[in-house]
Amino acid sequence: MNILLEMVLVNLLKDLKIKSIVSPWQEGEKITGGPSGSPGTNDSNTSDNGKKRKNDGDGDSPEAKRLRTEEVKNNVQQSISQKNEEGSQKLNELLNRAKGTNDYEELKGILQEISKFEGEEFYVAHQNEVNKERNKLGSLNESKFRNDVVKELEDKLAANGIDENKLSEEQRSKVNKLKNGEYTDINKINEVVNEISESANKEGTKSRLNELLAKAEALVKGTIKGSIDSLKKQAKEVQEGLYSFVYDTNSYKKDVYQSNQEKITSALKELENHSFNNTNQPEKSGFFRPEVIVPVSLLVVLAVAAIVIVRRKKQAKVK
C-alpha cells in the first residue's frame, strides 16, 4: 500500500510540473472525455456557451454601440436642459432676496450662492443685476468688502487648480493692487474680480476637459484595468463628460469646445467604437492562479489520505 501511494504521489508531482492537470476555470478550455457527441462531452453546455458568446458579440455590434451612444447623448441633453431650467429659477430667487436685504453678511452669502452659476447662459443674462448687487455689498462696508474679495479670488483660483504665479503679469499686478488696497472705487474692484474669476474658470474648465481626454485615451489603449462592466461604466461617464462640452450652453465650456472640437470628436469616436474584452482584465499571477491551486489542492488531499491509511495500517498491526 505504501509503495502504491508513493507511485501516485510521484506521478501527480510530475503532472503538476508539466501542467497536465488543467483547471476547469482556464479560459477557453473544457474538460471532456472525448470529441463532441462522445461520452464525457456536455453538448448542452457547449450550445449554451455558444449562445452566450453570440449574445456578448451582439452587445458590441455597431447597432448596439450606436444605440448606447444615442442614449448617452439624450441623457446629457436632458441633464443640461434640467440644469438650466432649475438654475434659472434659483438665480431669480436669489436675486430677489439680494435686492430685498441691506445686511452685509446676508447679502454676501447670497452672492456667494449666485457665483456658482458663473458662465451659465442664464447668469450672463442677469450679469448687470448681479454687478449691481455686488456694488451694493461694497457700499455697505467698504473695508470688509476689500478683504472679502481678496479671499474670494484666492478661493476661486484654488478651486480651479491655478497657482497665482501662473496668472499673466497684468493679472498678478491687479491682484496685488487688490491686496494692497490700491483700488478704492467699488466698481473697479468688481471689474477686476470679474476679470480674474472669468480667467480662472476658463482655465479650470480646460483642465477638466484634459482629464477627460486623458482618461478616454487610457480606456481605449487598455492601460486602465478592471472588469468589463467597470470599464464600460467608466467609458460611459467619460462620454457623458465629453458630450457636456458639445451640448452645454455654459460660456466657458462653449469656448473650450470651440478650441478643442477635433480632439473631443476624435475621443468620442474612439470610445464609441471600442470593444472592452479580456485584454483589459487584470492579470492573475503567482500561486493563487486556478491552474496552480487545483493541482496543489489535489496533492494535499492525496497526502492526507496517505497519512490516514498508514496510521490505520499501523493501528491494525498493533491490535
* pLDDT tens readout for residues 42-67: 554 544 554 444 444 456 788 888 89
Write out the residue range of the structural domain in which residue 124 sits.
63-273
User: Which residue pairs from 129-135 have beta carbons closer than 8 angstroms and sit at least 24 positions apart in sequence?
Assistant: 129/95, 130/95, 131/190, 131/194, 133/95, 133/98, 133/99, 133/107, 134/190, 134/193, 135/186, 135/187, 135/190
4, part of any domain: no
**Closest to 292 in 3D by CA, of 11, 25, 31, 10:** 25
In the chain, the number of structural domains is 2
- Tell whether 212 and 308 lie within a shared domain: no
- Tell whether 310 and 161 lie within a shared domain: no
- Tell whether 291 and 224 lie within a shared domain: no
Amino acid at 124: V
Tell me how far CA of residue 108 lies from CA of 100, 136, 144, 153, in angstroms: 13, 10, 11, 14
DSSP code of residue 103: -
**Closest to 81 in 3D by CA, of 123, 121, 124, 130:** 121
- Tell whether 169 and 318 lie within a shared domain: no
Q: What percent of the chain has pLDDT over 70?
A: 69
Q: In the prediction, which pLDDT does 62 show?
A: 86
Dist CA 146 CA 184 (whole Å): 9
44, part of any domain: no
221, part of any domain: yes
162, part of any domain: yes
Q: Name the stretches of the chain with pLDDT < 70.
A: 1-59, 278-301, 304-306, 308-319
47, part of any domain: no
- Tell whether 259 and 304 lie within a shared domain: no
Q: In the prediction, which pLDDT does 25 show?
A: 38
CB under 8 Å to 314, separation ≥6 — which residues? none
- Tell whether 198 and 291 lie within a shared domain: no
In the structure grid, which three cell numbers stand for residue 193, read together? 474680480
- Tell whether 226 and 82 lie within a shared domain: yes
> Phi and psi (nearest 5°) for 312?
-65, -35
263, part of any domain: yes
- Tell whether 264 and 288 lie within a shared domain: no
- Tell whether 246 and 288 lie within a shared domain: no
266, part of any domain: yes
- Tell whether 135 and 196 lie within a shared domain: yes
First-to-final CA distance of the chain? 19
- Tell whether 170 and 203 lie within a shared domain: yes
160, part of any domain: yes
User: Which residue pairs from 273-279 have beta carbons closer than 8 angstroms and sit at least 24 positions apart in sequence?
Assistant: 273/65, 274/219, 274/220, 274/235, 275/60, 276/228, 276/231, 276/232, 276/235, 277/228, 278/27, 279/222
- Tell whether 250 and 303 lie within a shared domain: no
